[in-house]
Structure 1
Amino acid sequence: MDSLSRLIGERVKLARQEAKLSQEKLSHTLDFKDRQTLSTIENGQRRVSAEELVQFSEALRKPLDYFTDPYLVAGEKAFSYRSLNASETEIADFEYLAGSYIATHRRFQELLEQTASPAQAKISSIGEKTPLDFATYQGERCAAAWDLGDVPTKRLREAVTQELGIQVLYVDAPASISGAACRLDDGAYILINRNEPNTRQNFDIGHELFHLLTWDKLPPARLDLVIDESEIKKKRPAAEKLADAFTAGLLMPSETMRQIWARRGDQDHEEWITQTADQLGVSPMAVYWRMVNLRVFKKTREAQQAAAALRGKSVEARPQLFSPEFVGDLYKVLERGAITVRKALKLLDIDQEELEDLFASYKLKPPFEL
């Protein structure tokens, strides 16, 4: 079978299933003589004429390029966003761009014969009524299993990619969008706004990771409003509280926190919180709550307000755009001539100078003539 027939067949089947139509029903709608005709199309064993493609588009209410463009994400997918009051327009625009990045990477993997695995990691022991302490414990277990070390944030992105096969992409997102998780039938992605403070980026990776690991039993809301750390009280859904608890254990394991506390010397609480936050790549408020939950600090309104006013001192460079894996695959497909430079520019919504800068940031010489 040729690749286009296989692609069209797969997309027809996906669109039919999404529309909840049987093969018999769709065959009748299209006036096919029998169900077997549609079956051979879905299996990629029969070519589709231009006229039939238009019929599929109308019957299944999909644009024509849905059936023919390998750079579109098709099939069941779901997004969850962390946002500071983003508008629906901002969410929709970002989702379109995020979908383009994801589809592009999946197409690169196909061109490079890198097969995505349908098996996905998950934490099945966590549900809506799970105690927060247990979610934190599971985060600590993950940190230990992935050997994240004394400063888990330094290896977190690498571990998530290598241990779980989840792609983490740093992107230029609107200021109102902090991060996002995308769950596909056979894979998962985390997108992080690289213009956010590093402490939030680190926490967002852990938070979105939790959602991907618990998506089946505890599907997240499409939009999670990020808490302003100066707020004292705010109700949140159980899934978001559990995600925060998991991330606290992942980024600040109890043994690590107790060891750092034992070495504090004569530091006062506020100085220790700020220094520890800088050391671990998390916010001072995150450190405060972790110590409260470890029952080292007492929870008081005054202490909470003081912690909320603290700001870390370390300043790190923003992450490079996308990821080493994404840019490496882009380099390979361009080098092999599998796609054109013009196509790559369109897919990534950048110009040639920005593409050259992208390769330079990863110490790669552009695989095309300037």
Structure 2
Amino acid sequence: MKTETASDLGIRVAEARELAGMTQAELAAVSDLGRTVIAKIEAGSRKLGAAELVRLAESLRRPVDWFFLESPPAVVSRRSDPNIRGLSAPLDARVDWIARDIAYLHQLDELPKYERFVQAPPESVDGAARAAGALRRHLEVPDGPLRDLQALAERIGLFVFSLNLGVDGGDAAYVAVEDAGVVVINGKMDPGRRRFNLAHELGHHVFQDAYAPEVRLSPQDDTERLINAFAIHLLLPLGDARSLVEEFSADVRLAAVAAGVRFRLSWTAVCAQLRNAGLVDAGSYEDLVAQPPSRVDFIELGERWQPELEAPAVPPKYGRRVLSAYRRRKLTAERAAELLWETLTVAELPDQVELSAEVYRREFGSVE
């Protein structure tokens, strides 16, 4: 859908305002346009100048083109789903924005190459574990820790962005774009939670969901529960959990601390997987959950946590392609910086020096 009239534009402004959870008076205050002006714009009875539109877009956390072009289909479906709508406006706005960016780069033929990995949704916890094992084998990491989950996800067409959305900005969101997918992770969350959220959204991508609700650690929905099981088995296979307990001579607590550090998992997820593996009973599980690791535990273990997905972070190959497109003058400096989501400023962008065909072929595998 294209916005063609003042009335169409007014409808889009009103929709963006409602999605942001703002009243006309609140939008007027942050945009400094006045409530009467906002009301007339939304009613289509007042034209909107370019500078005013930019102010509204910034106030509503939307790209300017959002007011003229419809979002990708999965974003529209997610936006209209009554189970999702309005749960976390900052997260919803960012996933919409980035899905547009991915669709735009897809049209430019500037997305990194990827190979989709698709499976049927699991019907049981055992099926979820098998699906996780199949993905690990596809990624050529059948066991052990999955390092740099963001880069691994990019290999199968899931483009993951970690942005600081604040403590009330939601956890994570997924939408499909063409045959690729977009995940936005709230980088303000705990590092272990960020990885679990990404593993969960990987499940939605692999099982070909068009979009997904926010992650819940104790979901009521059976599908979400099974995708949680997929995420836990993906991050910490049962065999690895058992090996850790053997390594630490049945000292389950120290084994759990090691699992959290080496596999970069939240304490809750580690304890749950130890229970799944039959390594702790119900009572021991509750005791373990109630006593998260302290600095003493980490010193005794002699290992350190290496956090991932610290905001801001963009997919590694995606970032390279954006810079390459900028250097080849397919993107303006402002557009390149926008696509890189504060990982670089305009001032930090490299010179626009043409890449030779040989260099381009070596880096990206083809020449336009």
TM range (shorter): 0.5 to 0.7
| Structure 1 position 75 matched with structure 2 position 65 | no
Partner SS for 2:171:
strand
Instruction: Name the counterpart of 1:145.
Output: 138
Which TM-score applies when normalising by structure 1? 0.63
Written as runs of structure 1 = structure 2, the 5 A alignment for 1:214-253 is 214-216=207-209, 222-224=213-215, 226-227=216-217, 236-253=220-237
Q: Does 1:99 align with 2:96?
A: yes
Between 304-313 and 327-336, report the one with greater CA deviation.
304-313
TM superposition shift of 1:307:
2.1
Q: Which residue of 2 aligns with 1:280?
A: 263
Q: Distance in 2 between matches of 1:332 and 1:178?
A: 31
Quick check: 1:194–1:319 contact (8 Å CA) kept in 2? yes
Alignment gaps of 5+ in structure 1: 1-6, 9-63, 82-86, 228-233, 360-364
Q: How far apart in 2 are the matches of 1:220 and 1:132?
A: 22
- TM-score scaled by length of structure 2: 0.63
Q: Secondary structure in 2 aligned to 1:152?
A: coil
Equivalent residue number for residue 243 of structure 2: 259
Task: Give the superposition deviation at 1:303.
Answer: 3.1
Q: Deviations over 1:133-163 (max 9, x none)?
A: 221222123213322254333043323221x
Per-residue CA deviation, residues 162-201 of structure 1 (Å, 9 max, x unaligned), is 1x22212222223232211112343211222223222112
Q: d(CA) in 2 for partners of 1:311 and 1:79?
A: 41
The corresponding residue for 2:319 is: 327
| Distance apart, 1:254 and its partner CA | 2.1
- Residue of structure 2 aligned with 1:123, choices 110, 116, 119: 119
Q: Distance in 2 between matches of 1:192 and 1:349?
A: 13
- Give the letter for the 2:146 counterpart: T
The corresponding residue for 1:307 is 289
Q: Note if contact 1:284-1:308 (Cα within 8 Å) is conserved in structure 2.
A: no
Alignment counterpart, residue 108 of structure 2, candidates 101, 106, 111:
111
TM-align CA RMSD: 3.7
Contact 2:128 2:230 in 1 (8 A): yes
How far residue 115 of structure 1 moved from its aligned partner, in angstroms, is 8.9
The alignment status of 1:168 with 2:150, answered yes or no, reads no
Contact 1:143 1:253 in 2 (8 A): no
What is the aligned partner in structure 1 of residue 279 from structure 2? 296
Q: Hey, what's the Cα distance between the residues in 1 that align with 2:167 and 2:312?
A: 17
Find the residue that maps to 1:255 and give its secondary structure. helix
Deviations 1:214-266 (CA, angstroms, capped at 9, x unpaired):
245xx776344x34xxxxxx56211221011111211111222222222112x
Match for residue 338 of structure 1?
A: 330
| CA distance 1:125–1:339, change in 2 (3 Å) | closer
SS of residue matched to 2:197: helix
Native 8 Å contact 1:285 1:307 kept in 2: yes
Given candidates 306, 317, 321, the residue that maps to 1:316 is 306
Q: Give the whole-Å Cα distance in 2 for the aligned partners of 1:73 and 1:152.
A: 36
SS in 2 for 1:183: strand
